[in-house]
Amino acid sequence: MTRLEQLQKLAALHPDDAMLPYGIGLEYINLERWTDAIAAFDQALKLDNNLSAAHYHKARSEIKDGRHESARATLATGIEVALAAGDRKTVSEMHQLLDTIS
């Protein structure tokens, strides 16, 4: 059983745990399955919108998938979330990612 399959199985058992779809999203990034990654991060954010890393990785996936406007919106929200949490490192990473969008 692959890591992705293990995470999917756990997510089915624990549907309220935002970290499981987040982990699934990261696995989809590793597989370069951008649309699936975005959907997984959307699910994680539906469960916990304060998960700033999910905003970051969702935006990365949107950029890879050519969805630059969506990535800008995702980063704007993610920056607000990270600022509210005092997460300066993630704010900085999101600003750097925003600068890469053409």
> In the predicted model, what is the mean pLDDT of the chain?
97
Number of domains in the chain: 1
Between the CA of residue 59 and those of 3, 22, 84, what are the distances in Å?
23, 13, 19
DSSP structure class, residue 1? -
The domain of 50 spans: 3-100
Q: Write the pLDDT tens digit of every residue in 37-47.
A: 999 999 999 99
Query: What per-residue confidence (pLDDT) applies to 64?
Result: 97
Average pLDDT over residues 21-27: 98
Average pLDDT over residues 35-56: 97
DSSP structure class, residue 76? H
User: What would the DSSP string read from start to end of 8-62?
Assistant: HHHHHH-TT-THHHHHHHHHHHHTT-HHHHHHHHHHHHHH-TT-HHHHHHHHHHH
Query: What per-residue confidence (pLDDT) applies to 35?
Result: 98
pLDDT of 102 over the 90 cut: no
The domain that holds 45 is classified in CATH as 1.25.40.10
Query: What per-residue confidence (pLDDT) applies to 38?
Result: 98
